[in-house]
Structure 1
Amino acid sequence: MELATPLDILCRIIIRARENEAQVATTYDGDEDPDNVDGNDDDEAYSVLDDDINTSVEEELTGILDELAEDQLLEVFALCLVGRGDYDADEWDDALETAGDEDELLDSLLEMPMLAAMLEGGMAAFDLDCEGVGQVT
């Protein structure tokens, strides 16, 4: 199977999707917790471990997906269906057909839990991976 979507683009999607999924909103807002009567505010101690939500990561992921041609967007969605286990690699045409039935492909991909893992799993089903992609030797 030959994809219309370049491997480096698929790998960029995986990287940005991982970054987007890894973000955790900081729960500490700097105010004292009214329920904390002993003055120990554990949220403050742990807030340094949380990242603030970085909207630029989501915007970049959205931009990458939005720049894809429709057939490429269908491939990304179909690869996710294979990676999720809905289809096997030998059922690629069925996965593409299901992707074509999806109303809002871009929104569906952005809302897909574990997008990076699903896409990576779909690529693995076709012996594709990101090893060495984008590295300068």
Structure 2
Amino acid sequence: MLQIAVEKVCDLIINSLALNATLDSGGDDFSEIPTIDETMEFSPPKDDRYLDLKRIIDKFNEEERQHLVALAWLGRGTFSLDEWEDALEEATQLEDTHISDYLVRMPQLGDYLEEGLAELGYSSEGFETGIR
């Protein structure tokens, strides 16, 4: 069902939560979830955590990035568990070169990914604290 290692998703969750903590303390405002088209015009903040998170996502292959998008959509309630295949299908329609910017600009990406994992029956416990 999920075509990306849970460990990779958990690493992304940790980094996303760190980025959100930086933004919450006075960084750029990402309260609006961008459309994929808006992401094409996005000028990234100068924060190293943003760049680290983007680099992590960019290292994933195309299928893994699509699964991340679908997982985030599942976690935020855009799609239900019964609509998982629909979410994956819609994610394949996105321009792959903009997926990392789209995901990084998602205000609660870490929370959405964690919720998405739970919906699919996976747990991020232990991974978030570095226990494997």
TM, length-normalised to structure 1: 0.72
Cα contact 2:66–2:91 (8 A) shared by 1: yes
**Distance in 2 between residues matched to 1:54 and 1:111, nearest whole Å:** 13
Which residue identity is paired with 1:123? L
One of 95, 105, 128 as aligned partner of 2:87: 95
- The corresponding residue for 1:130 is 124
Cα contact 2:117–2:124 (8 A) shared by 1: no
TM, length-normalised to structure 2: 0.75
**Distance in 2 between residues matched to 1:98 and 1:105, nearest whole Å:** 13
Q: Which string of whole-angstrom CA distances, capped at 9 and with x for unpartnered residues, describes residues 92-132 of structure 1? A: 11001111122321111011111111111111101112112
- The corresponding residue for 1:57 is 49
**RMSD of aligned Cα (Å):** 1.9
Matched, 1:114 2:115: no
Which stretches of structure 1, 4 residues or more, deviate above 2 A after TM superposition?
A: 53-56
- The corresponding residue for 1:30 is none
Cα contact 1:99–1:105 (8 A) shared by 2: no
Number of equivalences: 109
- The corresponding residue for 1:25 is 26
**Distance in 1 between residues matched to 2:113 and 2:46, nearest whole Å:** 22
- In structure 1, list runs of 5 or more residues that go unmatched: 27-52
- CA separation of 1:81/1:67 partners in 2, compared to 1, >3 Å: closer, same or farther? same
- The corresponding residue for 1:46 is none
**Distance in 2 between residues matched to 1:125 and 1:7, nearest whole Å:** 13
- In structure 2, list runs of 5 or more residues that go unmatched: 28-44
Secondary structure in 1 matching 2:70? helix
Cα contact 1:81–1:118 (8 A) shared by 2: yes
Identity percentage of aligned residues: 32
Task: With a CA cutoff of 8 Å and minimum separation of 6, indicate the structure with the bigger relative contact order.
Answer: 2
**Distance in 2 between residues matched to 1:59 and 1:105, nearest whole Å:** 14
Displacement of 1:54 in angstroms is 8.2
